[in-house]
Amino acid sequence: MTTGEIAELLNGKITGNANLEINSIGKIENAKPDQITFISNPLYEKYYGSTNAGAVLVSKDFKINNIRKEVTLIRVSDPYLSFLELIEKFDNENEEIETGISAQTSIADNVRLGDDIFIDDFVKIGKNSIIGENSKIYSNVTIDKNVLIGKNCIIYPNTVIFKNSNIGDNVIIHSGAVIGGDGFGQAKGEDGKYIKIPQKGSVKIDDDVEIGSNTNIDRATIGETIISRGVKIDNQVQIAHNVEIGEDTVIAAQTGIAGSTKIGKNCMIGGKVGIVGHIKICDNVIIGAATNISKSIDTPGIYTGYRGKPHRDDLKIEANLKKFLESN
């Protein structure tokens, strides 16, 4: 696209050459003259003077001391969001449309497949399952019986989806994820030996969810483990049986959430967070990385520390501890 076309697409205001042809996207440090990049973080403003990019997305109030005539600026409301939109645009234009069903796929009886789907080699789909239109299932995916997968989903290689799982539209599941595996339920008998508790429930994943590689979402003991609309889950996250996660919550890598915990909407959970079972976390909570949550949270805010507490309280404890150690 030309820079003029990009500016029109993003509702931006252009300064420079509107006819410059842009072929791809690059990092500001090493972009080429036929590439576009962006500046949204002030830490990267220093690269404006040295970048070789042909065009740069900047904010409407971006200030420069020395105008570079060889660099076209496109001023937009939010350079980062505009950059994401542009990535999607370039990706869609260059992406090969994949449709069709491999002859090396195993499809059981009474499976319903939507229009324009793609099923790669060595996929196994169990009986009575449904795959929605425009969905893509890549190689070595195993889909058990009675699974519902909605429209426009992408299931990457080596994913396993167990029986009775219900997956909405526009869901992305990355490689190695396990959806609907056995929940960890054990009861100690009178003789001290553990007795396995049957896990007879299912997993329900709503629309617009993304699940990272090697993440596990266990099916419920009874009822459903629920991942609500718009939830984004990073790699290597463990979500136990009967957990419920509210809309638009994001969870970073290596977090573990124990059984029957309920997490609200619009929460942000950092990496390596541990959350015990059978508690509730309200809406709009931010939990810092490596924080352990051992009791319910009913007030929105930021929580940090080895034993999760309001961030301000955690900082006070750290400061007082430092003073104590220094005085001794």
Secondary structure letter of residue 221 according to DSSP: S
Alpha helix stretches (DSSP H) within 32-102? 79-94
DSSP state of 41: S
Q: What is the DSSP letter of 48?
A: G
Which residues are CB-contacts of 205 (< 8 A; sequence separation ≥ 6)?
165, 166, 167, 168, 171, 179, 211, 217, 227
CA-CA-CA-CA torsion for 278, 282, 284, 290, nearest 10 degrees? Answer: -30
Show the tokens assigned to 77.
């409301």
123 alpha-carbon distance from chain centroid: 24
The contacts of residue 55 (CB under 8 Å, 6+ apart) are: 3, 6, 16, 20, 22, 35, 36, 37, 71, 72, 73, 74
Collect all residues with Cβ–Cβ distance below 8 Å to 203 and sequence separation of at least 6.
162, 164, 165, 166, 179, 180, 217, 218, 219, 220, 224, 225, 226, 227
Q: Is 241 a catalytic residue?
A: yes
User: So which residues are the catalytic ones?
Assistant: 241
